[in-house]
Amino acid sequence: MEEKKFNQIGVSFKGSGSYVPDQILTNQKISKKVDTSDEWIKSRTGISERRISSLGDNVTDMGYKAALNAIEKANWDVNTIDLIVLATSTPHDLFGSAPSIQAKLGASNAVAFDLTAACSGFLFALITASQFLKGGNFKRAVVIGADQLSSFVDWNDRRSCILFGDGAGALAIEATNEFDNFIGFNMRTDGERGSFLNLPFKNDRDSIIDNIDFLRGGFSPIQMNGQEVYKFAVKEVPIILKKLLKETNYSSERVDWLVLHQANQRILDSVGDKLKIPREKILSNLEKYGNTSAGTIPLMIDEAIKNNKIKQNDIIATSGFGAGLSWGAALIKWG
């Protein structure tokens, strides 16, 4: 049987969705656990509170709820979805959580897989899915970013525990032969600097029998050199965004919204200043959710759409950056 090939050249954005757990961990509550304060955290990060998964939450459920929301916004029949890509570094199943989301959605015709790139994950997944659609074999895709970093935080480390939260977001994208709203992208990796941000394997040695040893599975808490990650982000993100704007013949004045990975408010402001993008065009919900890794960008886009900020045909410049070290940028038109 001959494989079906669609005649398509571009990608359109049809719907967005998000989900965050109910539990709210404020700066004041963290201050009862470690030596810090609301003023200290806000002044250095911009974060006031973050969401923490309850015992009943996991990445599969969070991703499913965000995806279902996006599918409903797109008004799609789940049987018409061809591809599901889940960006996560904290899967509910280390073998992959995307297939479980596919099953919960009932999207039996979709191929589903996980993509791991930490805080760059959603952007990398969106780029990956868009290339599948432009290739002509798939028509509809759901791209999900979901992470449950609370499970991997050292809650006694005041340098890192203040930063992270849990959440998920999703976009429904569709191939089209009429236009292309995925205007352009760039991606970078520098493994030489990868030690600045890790969720490392524990390396706990054990023995099976006699002289046959092995390493028992498991991971240590998140380890981060915050100063180096900050310097990396404020240097590299403006460079890759400027390069992308130049390559696509867009000026920063034509950008309606700057949607960056929500890591630190000072990073967001610094990148915007270097691109000469005014503060009112820099979208931020960091204060409420903290750093949700792969969840931040789609969570921010969905919130901005619900709040009637992002509208049809708005130009969005976006960048994800983090562990790897990896970073990327994309320029899209909503709709």
Active site residues per annotation:
119, 261, 291
Per-position DSSP letters for 204-256, written without gaps between them:
EEEEEETTEEEEEP-BPPPEE-HHHHHHHHHHHHHHHHHHHHHHTT--GGG-S
The C-alpha atoms of residue 237 and residue 225 are separated, in whole angstroms, by 18
Inter-residue contact 27 to 162 (CB < 8 Å) = yes
Beta strand 140-148 with 83-87: parallel, antiparallel or unpaired?
A: parallel
- For 36, the enclosing helix (H) or strand (E) is none
Sequence-distant (≥ 6) Cβ neighbours of residue 127 within 8 angstroms: 185, 187, 328, 330
Token pair of 298, please?
């789609």
Q: What is the four-CA torsion angle of 263, 267, 271, 276, rounded to 10 degrees?
A: 120
The C-alpha atoms of residue 260 and residue 321 are separated, in whole angstroms, by 8
Short-list 143, 144, 122, 121, CA closest to 132 = 143
Write b or e for each residue in 202-233: b if 16 or more Cβ atoms lie within 10 A of its Cβ, otherwise e: eeeeeeeeeeeeeeeeeeebbebebeebbebb
- For the four alpha carbons of 112, 185, 16 and 174, in that order, the dihedral sign comes to negative
CB atoms within 10 A of CB 43: 11
Rounded to a whole number of angstroms, the CA Rg of the chain reads 20
Token pair of 208, please?
């099976």
